[in-house]
Amino acid sequence: MTDLVPISLTVNGERVSAEVLPRLNLADFLRDQLGLTGTHVGCEHGVCGACTVRVNGDIVRACLLLAVQTESASVQTIEGLSDSGEVSDLQAAFRDRNALQCGYCTPGMLMAAQDILIHEPDADREQIREHLSGNYCRCTGYHAIVDAVEATARARSEQAR
Amino acid sequence: MKASAFSYARASSVVDALDLLARHGDQAKVLSGGQSLMPALNLRLSAPELLVDIGAIEELRGISVANGVLTIGALTRHVDILRSAEIARHAPLLTDAIAHVAHPAIRNRGTFGGSLAHADPASELPACALALDAVILVRSRDGERRIQAADFFTGIYETLLAPDELLVAVEVPVAKPNAVHFFHEYARRKGDYAIVGLAASGILDGDVFTGLRLGYFAVGDKPMLAMASDHLTGRPVTTSMLADAQTALDAEFDPQEDQQATAGMRRYLARQLMARCVSTLLGRQDLETRALA
Amino acid sequence: MNGASGKKSGLSVLDRPNSYIGKTVPRPNLDRLLQGRGQYVSDMVLPRMAHAVFLRSPYAHAKILKIDATTARAMPGVIAVVTGAELAKVITPWVGVLSHLKGLKSAPQHAIAIDRACWQGEAVAAVIATSRALAEDAAEAVAVDYEELVPVTDMRTALDPDAPVIHADLGDNLAFERTLDAGAVDQAFKDSDEVVEAEFVFGRHTGVTLEPRAVLADWNSGEERLTVYLGTQAPHMVQNIAALHLGLDEAQVRVVCKDVGGSFGIKVHIYADEMATLALSKLLRRPIKFVADRVESFNTDIHARDHVCKARIGVSKNGIINAFEIDDVTGIGPYSMYPRTSAIEANQVVNLVGGPYTTQNYRARTRVVFQNKNVTCQYRGVGHPIACSITEGLVDLAAQRIGMDPIEIRRRNLIRDDAYPCGSPSGLKFEALSHHASLDKLAAMMNYDALRAEQAKLRKQGIYRGIGIGSFIEVTNPSAAFYGVGGARISSQDGVAVRLDATGRVICQTSITEQGQGSESLTAQIVGSVLGVSMERVRVILGDTDNTPYGGGTWASRGAGIGGEAALQAAKVLRKNILDVAAAILQAGPGDLDIVDNAVVNVDGGQQRIELHELARIVYFRPDTLPPGFQPELMATRHFVPREYPFAFTNGVQASWLEVDPQTGFIKLLKHWVVEDCGTLINPQLVDEQIRGGVVQGLGAALYEHCIYDERGQLTNANMADYLVPMSGEMPDIDVGHVVSPTLESELGAKGAGEAGTAAAAAVVTNAVNDALAPFNVTITEIPLTPRVVLTALGRI
């Protein structure tokens, strides 16, 4: 057995102090120790995107990060993005367009969608598809998701004008 | 799949990291971006005793240009390369290649040094290093070594890096005025590992290649600089020269057979890539392999 | 349109004011999922909960000689290490056969293997510890002595006289064989101008639900009750099986199903490791959670569609198809899956080949053989994708042989839209389909002629695009003919209980289940429409055997057609009961009143007479003010089961437009179309999204997905980097249109829609690839269509 490592970070704006085993990955830390089960586990090898969260503003795979690596970091999960209202328009678009069915990919998908909306606000359908190509959805076949992201992009750019 | 237990040390400096590596040898693994290491740990394909996290070492970050040399710190993330104006100007092959590496969430963590040290034969950046004639800077407690990319990669996940050494930076000669580059890979889906890929860099004087470095990846147990490029340099390329180059290329490779392709298919695709590269760089439709919609 | 028993009595839900039927409304309760606040089994935590990890056989076929868990038992956090023999004291084995599949045989299967492991990945021991990680650590320390046995890994040779027999007691590796000979097939082939033959090969693949299988079993020894938290499509089936094999009464078992991260049939089955988890909870007297990891999922989630089929079609020069014939072999696992059997898929293939077409000459044989590979069973679409790929592939080959356009040959052979009711040579009964109207609509939607012109133009430039068309029929709303007649305790009926609560809101309990397709929404839409109540005031409870009526659940595209009709009928009764109360309160005739917008109103003139919450207040708290002797009843339950037609068939047609690069073998999907006739559409957007999702699963099968076993029975690509699933970058936009032929078996008229997308997607992609490559004279009848397959067919490698 190895020693516990103390870490101190911010999760969804809240200061968190914990003692963790080095091998504990961020996804399991969020889910099991902080009860933030909105971040989902689908593969544990970084391919499916279900565990996508934000660390220091960048989207990352929580299954490929150790909790100990988040010392002093700012982590945001889907719960945080929801409560702050940052993605409320995107969530509404998903709801109206039925861009989710079982909901398992949805938190990660919203993270990735918000990422392209921030970094490439003028993205077209093909670019949206490319940016989301690391997030597996088995239910929707992606068409509705692309529609919802595209609609949100248009609405945001109209608001910006 | 949960990783086996290991200890963890966060190195505060290169000296600190080298000290840890010297003490623990091959029982330690360097944690850089973790995008290749973590899957291996989670799948229990790897079970080191100690992870040395180099993520906090500022000295390993940064991109700079001086005296005709572009220096890229080992901790430079893929996304940093994608967004770097210096790299777009001085090594645009990297800018093109990086867009093919995995997906945004992976690119936000994965590092240039990590990718080279991991040496997956199907990955893009080692082949780019070959094409760009890069020099890889490696440090141990005994000092620093400079290793040509052409020598660095020795096998599947194998490099000249010793267990007590750290890859600290990569130097790339800045692109000359008449430099050209080409990047393409055949992959089933965006972000997948290539079935076969080509990173090429050269000098084009009029319609003559005076230099051409063809860095193939996913063609064997390591990335390969194709000697067949000799058939394409020094005079205007004809279809017959291209055919000779493709024949020579076949003989250079010993590709693996796997679920994606037979050895013969990899050779075939490598030849297609050569034609595509040459026709694109020269603007010569007659040499062309037509791209998809 | 001809019909069955035809008459509709009384109210039609389609006539109601402000009806939600046919409306695209957002599903209720999506915010929960959008905020990451759903509750999937893997999210659940119970006091004293422990984690199970299964040690799995690394060999496809091996005797288990010895298991030494001494070291493992002493490791940190380990609670127990349990072998198959130990667990057999708590849980009995099962056999996956049903009597209506004549001759189907299978060997008993244990929750954890005893003495012999029969596929790579079969569990041979369970390690229970305080965390998954600690259990995995201990599993590494369990020493198992195996003696390797010769595995059966090639279905083509599994029936050879010298092939090793997996279960000696069964005599051979043949699980099931069925033959069919209808019409006059030999004469029909003799009379044909052309007979085209092909061998169709299908890559075994699997569901890859994003949430892996997960179960939390909670045996409460104080209550002597087992609560099973499981993302199952059929909670009552699980209740029955758990009770049966654990020696309990069904009343001692509660199955709870909250959010499920994708199922598609994968989670309609019950798995050995899940049964083991239930037994472990009983044995250890505490909650036990098992969450499969991705590698385990690939090795143990049911696989499907592992077929090789020789097939022929006889056609005349005028385009008339005279006969179909198939000889199919499918390789399943070492056991027929329990309780739905691994023979249903092959049985469906025999039933469905040729289904849309007029010819009555059809001969078929299917043989289902055991192999030492993972078990197989029903996965979205079941046999439809195989039958459709074969049928539509043959039709295109026939068209090509006689030089006829693929749409034209279909026009000459599809059953006419006015020919119903009628039947297929395999005994299927069709109530009312719309093959021609659907094909016409498809041709218009895709602008077929324009695409043909574009194809011709691009071909001259060395660009090879193709069009693939495929008609299909789809089994939905199954009656007891599917499972019940074979002795399975899988219900073919469903029930809904609706009540008006004390604040005038409506609560529905339904026995269908939700995996994201919209079961909750369709129930609320129907109930809201019938009752005249707005959807926001309707709450739907599902997925709990303690709190819903008894029913089959959601599978085989039955949720809307069967569960929806039960909701409709129950709501009708409640409506009548409410109006009886209102009439009593208002001293009116019940026929003078209606319910609109949450209030009782006059039929004439529409004025509001009393709001539902006020009516409820009176019933629940002031019944003293009601007329003497009057007993109000604000709750009603109705069940529904299809009685006349064994299945409500739907029909549709799909098209694919794609480009093939003959230099590299790569295929780019450009566009996809579907016209689907599934009867009454309750929520058009939800139906379309089911179709899109189903199509993409079919596209995955067409191009990417393959569980690749080596000759030793090792699954070589059990991870998401090597097993390729469709991602957004490569998928096309999918246009969906509808024709509507309601079923007259129910008032709702809804047939099922969940599996239609998967049925024909691979067929039309294959047809499109062959169409694109027609100038090269190649025909490919194998999926997945990888670059390697294409380049090989073109002779380039």
Confidence of residue C68 (pLDDT cuts 50, 70, 90): very high
**Residue percentage of chain A with pLDDT more than 90:** 97
Does C689 contact A at CB distance below 8 Å?
yes
- Give the pLDDT band of residue C118 (cuts 50, 70, 90): very high
* C696-728 confidence digits (pLDDT tens): 999 999 999 999 999 999 999 999 999 999 999
* Closest approach of A89 to chain B, Cα-based (Å): 22
Q: What percent of chain C has pLDDT over 70?
A: 98
User: With bands split at pLDDT 50, 70 and 90, how would you rate the model's confidence at B142?
Assistant: very high
pLDDT digits (tens, 9 = 90+) for C85-111: 999 999 999 999 999 999 999 999 999
Summarize pLDDT for C192-206 with one digit per residue, the tens.
Answer: 999 999 999 999 999
Buried-state track C90-104, b at ≥16 Cβ within 10 A, e below 16: bbebbebbbebbeeb
Cβ distance C787 to B259 less than 8 Å, yes or no, reads: no
Per-residue pLDDT tens digits for C659-679: 999 999 999 999 999 999 999
> Which of A22, A115, A131 is facing B8, going by the closest CB pair?
A22
Q: Which of B5, B106, B190 has its CB closest to that of A46?
A: B106
User: Does C462 lie at the interface with B, CB-CB under 8 angstroms?
Assistant: yes
* Structure tokens belonging to residue B153: 């990669």
Interface test with C, best of B43, B101, B286, B292 (most C CBs within 10 A): B292
Residue-wise pLDDT for A36-80, tens only, equals: 999 999 999 999 999 999 999 999 999 999 999 999 999 999 999
Mind telling me how many Å the CA of C723 is from chain A's nearest CA?
11
Tell me how close the Cα of B86 comes to any Cα of chain C, in angstroms.
29
CB within 8 Å: A63 and B103: no
- A127 vs C: CB within 8 A: no
- Main-chain phi, psi angles of C108, to 5 degrees: -65, 140
Element containing residue C691 per DSSP (H, E)? helix C684-703
Q: Please indicate if any CB of chain C lies within 8 Å of the CB of B66.
A: no
Answer whether residue A1 shows pLDDT above 70. Answer: no
Task: Verify cis geometry, omega within 30 degrees of 0, for the bond prior to C646.
Answer: no
pLDDT of residue C9: 37
Site from A26, A29, A69, A110 to mutate, B interface, most B CB atoms within 10 angstroms: A69
pTM of the model: 0.97
Nearest-Cα distance to chain A for C207, in Å, is 9
DSSP state of A64: G
Position of tokens 């049985």?
C347
pLDDT at C776 over 90: yes
Q: How far apart are CA C133 and CA C293, in angstroms?
A: 12
Considering only CB atoms, C42 lies closest to which of A41, A48, A125, namely: A41
C3 pLDDT higher than 50: no
Whether residues C729 and B189 touch (CB distance < 8 A) is answered with yes
Structure confidence at residue B293 as a pLDDT band (50, 70, 90): very low
Q: Do A143 and C294 touch (CB under 8 A)?
A: no
Contacts of C705 in chain B (CB under 8 A): none
Q: What is the pLDDT of residue B292?
A: 53
- Strand arrangement of the beta sheet that strand C648-661 belongs to: C464-476, C648-661, C666-677, C734-738
Inter-chain touch A59–B55, beta carbons under 8 Å: no
Inter-chain contact B192–C729, Cβ cutoff 8 Å?
A: no
Task: Indicate the residue of C261, C692, C719 with minimum beta-carbon distance to A143.
Answer: C692
| pLDDT tens figures, C228-260 | 999 999 999 999 999 999 999 999 999 999 999
In whole angstroms, what is the distance from residue C276 CA to residue C90 CA?
A: 9
Measured between beta carbons, the chain A residues lying within 8 angstroms of B2 are 23, 28
* Residue ranges of A 54-73 with Cβ closer than 8 A to chain C: none
Burial B204-221 (b: 16+ CB within 10 A, else e): eeeeebebbbbbbbbbbb
Q: How many CB pairs below 8 Å do chains A and B form together?
A: 92
Q: Chain C: nearest CA to A138, how far in angstroms?
A: 7
Q: Do C729 and B190 touch (CB under 8 A)?
A: yes
Cβ contact, residue pair C463, B290, below 8 Å: yes
Query: Is A94's CB within 8 Å of C719's CB?
Result: no
Interface of chain A against chain B, CB under 8 Å? 1-3, 5, 21-23, 25, 28, 44-46, 49, 52, 58-61, 63-66, 68-69, 71, 112, 115-116, 130-131, 133-134
CB contact under 8 Å between A37 and C43, yes or no, is yes
Nearest to C36 among A41, A82, A144 (CB): A82
A99: nearest CA partner in chain C = C689
Question: Does any CB of chain C come closer than 8 Å to the CB of residue B256?
Answer: no
Residue range A100-121: mean pLDDT, rounded: 98
Q: What is the pLDDT of residue B290?
A: 55
User: pLDDT tens digit string along C10-58?
Assistant: 346 677 878 999 999 999 989 999 999 999 999 999 999 999 999 999 9
Q: Which chain A residues touch C263 with a CB distance below 8 Å?
A: 102
Contact B76, B61 (CB under 8 A): yes
| Confidence tier at B107 by pLDDT (50, 70, 90) | very high
Q: What percent of chain B has pLDDT over 90?
A: 96
Question: Which other chains touch chain B, taking contact as 3+ CB pairs less than 8 Å apart?
Answer: A, C
Q: Mean pLDDT throughout C282-303?
A: 98
Q: Answer whether residue C2 shows pLDDT above 60.
A: no
The nearest alpha carbon in chain B to C292 belongs to B1
Instruction: Name chain A contacts of B4, Cβ cutoff 8 Å.
Output: 23
Please give the pLDDT value at position C144: 98
Burial-class residue C172 by CB neighbours within 10 Å (0-12, 13-18, 19+).
middle
| Residues of B at the A interface, defined by Cβ within 8 angstroms | 1-8, 10, 31, 34-35, 38-39, 41-43, 51, 53, 55, 79, 102-106, 108-109, 189-191
- Rounded (10°) CA dihedral C310, C316, C322, C326: 0
Cα distance from A126 to chain C (closest Cα, Å)? 8
- B163-187 in b/e form (b: 16+ CB < 10 A) is ebbbbbbbbbbbbeeebbbbbbbbb
Checking if the pLDDT of C362 tops 60, the result is yes
Contact map slice: C 245-304 vs B, CB within 8 A: 293-295
Angle between the C384-402 and C344-352 helix axes, to the nearest 10 degrees? 30
Q: Residue C386 is inside which H or E element, if any?
A: helix C384-402
**C-alpha span between C666 and C689 (Å, rounded):** 27
Closest CA to B196 of B124, B107, B248: B124
Distance CA B173, CA B90 (A): 8
pLDDT at C13: 67
Rounded to a whole number, what is the distance in Å from the CA of B35 to chain A's nearest CA?
6
- Determine whether C440 is exposed, middle or buried from the number of CB atoms within 10 Å of its CB (0-12, 13-18, 19+): middle
Judge whether B188 is closer than 8 Å to chain C, CB to CB. yes
Residues in chain A within 8 Å Cβ distance of C731: 129, 141-143
Q: Is C7's pLDDT higher than 90?
A: no
Of A45, A106, A133, the CB nearest to C728: A133
Name all chains with 3 or more CB-CB pairs below 8 Å to chain A.
B, C
Q: Give chain B's radius of gyration (CA, Å).
A: 19
> What are the tens digits of pLDDT across the range B24-67?
988 999 999 999 999 999 999 999 999 999 999 999 999 999 99
| Least CB–CB distance from B293: residue in C133, C462, C670 | C670
Looking at the predicted structure, is the pLDDT value of residue C637 above 90? yes
User: What average pLDDT does this structure show over C140-156?
Assistant: 98
